[in-house]
């Protein structure tokens, strides 16, 4: 049973480019969460999605960041016009459904902005 | 003030020692408490999941929650070099799925 899958594992972008991060949840999981981990900091919640719905985006920066979880395919976290401060590890987690279900994390995507 | 406070360490102990890791939190809405282990450049891995106050044991690991003092602990018995990792506490309210993490404590178990 495959776990949460994220790709790419490493992504390098120049300032002003777009970064697109993908997350495939565990089989049978319909809830996806994105977290960001800056150097020397804990994980910070960004957004919580169910299929075709954004449930909670209270942790998302107001500009340049967007997320989706389409009916078919992986969840996508998109960062437009990246800046150096966006360099971080981005983790996706998934859960079966209920609010307090365990969240299982993927290996993360490490974004470096040059 | 951060909602979840955790000493970043590093904490260095000899193999076989009992390790105590702690967090404090300020949000009374938190009802569920977790400990994750994160190896360098890997994703967090769930170790323990507890609801409300009390103890929970799983092998060498014991999680303890004291809601009256807003204090959560993880004890590791007979620590091994393979336990060397960063340990993250996380809290969850009962009505939302947004995990709030501590900054993590880096643990080094030496031979």
Nearest Cα neighbor of A32 from A58, A60, A11, A53 is A53
DSSP symbols for B33-49: EEEEEE-TTS--EEEEE
- Say if CB A69 and CB A32 are below 8 A apart: yes
Q: For residue A73, name the pLDDT band (cuts at 50, 70, 90).
A: very high
Both tokens assigned to B42: 């890997």
Q: What digits encode the pLDDT tens for the residues A40-51?
A: 778 999 999 999
Contact A104 B46 (CB under 8 A): yes
Nearest Cα neighbor of B38 from B21, B52, B26 is B21
Contact B99 A35 (CB under 8 A): yes
**Per-residue pLDDT for A99 more than 70?**
no
Interchain CB contact of A110 with B (< 8 Å) = yes
Sign of CA dihedral B103, B105, B30, B100: positive
Facing residue for B101 by CB, picked from A42, A100, A106:
A42
Both tokens assigned to A31: 């809830």
- pLDDT, residue A1, reads 54
The number of CA neighbours under 13 Å toward the Cβ of A94 is: 24
Over chain B (111 residues), the average pLDDT of each successive run of 10 is: 88 96 94 94 93 90 95 97 96 85 95 90
Nearest-Cα distance to chain B for A42, in Å, is: 4
Contact A107 B42 (CB under 8 A): yes
Contact B46 A33 (CB under 8 A): no
Q: What digits encode the pLDDT tens for the residues A22-41?
A: 999 999 898 999 999 987 77
Chain A residues whose beta carbon lies within 8 Å of the beta carbon of residue B24: none
Contact B42 A108 (CB under 8 A): yes
Interchain CB contact of A57 with B (< 8 Å) = no
């Amino acid at each position: 049973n495959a776990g949460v899958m994220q790709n790419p594992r490493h992504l390098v972008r120049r300032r002003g480019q777009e970064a697109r991060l993908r997350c495939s949840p565990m089989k049978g999981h319909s809830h996806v969460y994105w977290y960001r981990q800056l150097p020397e900091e804990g994980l910070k919640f960004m957004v919580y999605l169910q299929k075709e719905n954004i449930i909670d985006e209270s942790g998302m920066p107001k500009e340049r960041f967007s997320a989706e979880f389409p009916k078919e395919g992986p969840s996508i976290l998109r960062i437009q016009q990246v800046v150096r401060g966006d360099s971080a590890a981005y983790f996706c987690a998934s859960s079966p459904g209920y609010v307090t279900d365990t969240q299982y994390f993927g290996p993360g995507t490490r974004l470096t902005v040059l | 003030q951060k909602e979840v406070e955790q000493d970043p360490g590093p904490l260095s102990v000899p193999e076989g020692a009992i390790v105590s890791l702690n967090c404090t939190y300020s949000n009374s809405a938190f009802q569920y408490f977790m400990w994750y282990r994160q190896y360098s450049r890997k994703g967090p891995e769930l170790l323990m999941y507890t609801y409300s106050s009390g103890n929970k044991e799983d092998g060498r690991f014991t999680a303890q929650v004291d809601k009256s003092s807003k204090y959560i602990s993880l004890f590791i018995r007979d620590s091994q070099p393979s336990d060397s990792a960063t340990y993250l506490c996380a809290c969850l309210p009962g009505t939302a799925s947004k995990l709030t993490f501590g900054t993590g404590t880096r643990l080094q178990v030496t031979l």
